[in-house]
């Protein structure tokens, strides 16, 4: 990740406190829309965080940010991912660490592989990576951060919700 993008995310984290994860989720949603998602649903509180169709394929993402280099998934997270897999979407745990060289890791979900409330390092999730999906947002996510992080830092989720609403493919759940 470019230093400027890393610094913007760091500033956003400091300015937004507990809201940081949701802001990053919305920035990722913008990145997918910019990358050509045919449809995208952002769930603010309940259920899987992002559901999208990109390149004709249904995807479901549980989005996590990590200060420590590891993430924990709740029972509801895992049940939601399993339900989306059963419904025909490919499900992922999407993780962004906070170190300078961290990029998005999209780890494919396999039922029974992950346990609720157990901590997983980003390194442990790497064998399940979907490199194609990661490349999809490798350019558009940094662009979204540089373009929208300042507004998000000052106006929070409302600023990013306004940006998302401007995309025809966007749906709010």
* pLDDT for 132: 96
What does the pLDDT profile of the chain (173 residues) look like in tens digits?
A: 788 999 999 999 988 878 999 999 999 999 999 999 999 999 866 779 999 999 999 999 999 999 888 999 999 999 999 999 999 999 999 999 988 878 999 999 998 888 888 899 999 999 999 999 999 999 999 999 999 999 999 999 999 999 999 999 998 87
CATH number of domain containing 41: 3.40.1350.10
Our count of domains for the chain comes to: 1
Alpha-carbon dihedral sign for residues 63, 150, 134, 161: positive
Q: Which residues contact 28 (CB under 8 A, 6 or more apart)?
A: 50, 61, 63, 94, 96, 104, 137, 141, 144
Q: What is the domain range of residue 131?
A: 3-172
């Amino acid at each position: 990740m470019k230093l400027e993008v890393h610094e913007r995310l760091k500033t956003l984290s400091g300015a937004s406190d507990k809201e940081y994860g949701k802001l990053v989720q919305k920035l990722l949603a913008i990145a997918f829309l910019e990358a050509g998602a045919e449809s995208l649903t952002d769930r603010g509180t309940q259920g899987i965080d992002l559901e999208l169709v990109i390149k004709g394929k249904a995807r479901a993402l549980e989005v996590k940010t990590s200060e420590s280099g590891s993430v924990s998934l709740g029972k509801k997270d895992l049940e939601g991912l399993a339900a989306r897999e059963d419904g025909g979407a490919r499900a992922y745990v999407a993780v962004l660490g906070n170190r300078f060289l961290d990029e998005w890791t999209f780890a494919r979900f396999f039922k029974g592989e992950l346990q609720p409330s157990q901590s997983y390092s980003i390194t442990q999730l790497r064998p399940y990576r979907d490199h194609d999906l990661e490349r999809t947002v490798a350019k558009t996510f940094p662009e979204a951060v540089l373009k929208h992080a300042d507004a998000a830092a000052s106006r929070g989720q409302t600023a990013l919700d306004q940006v998302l609403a401007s995309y025809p493919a966007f749906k709010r759940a």
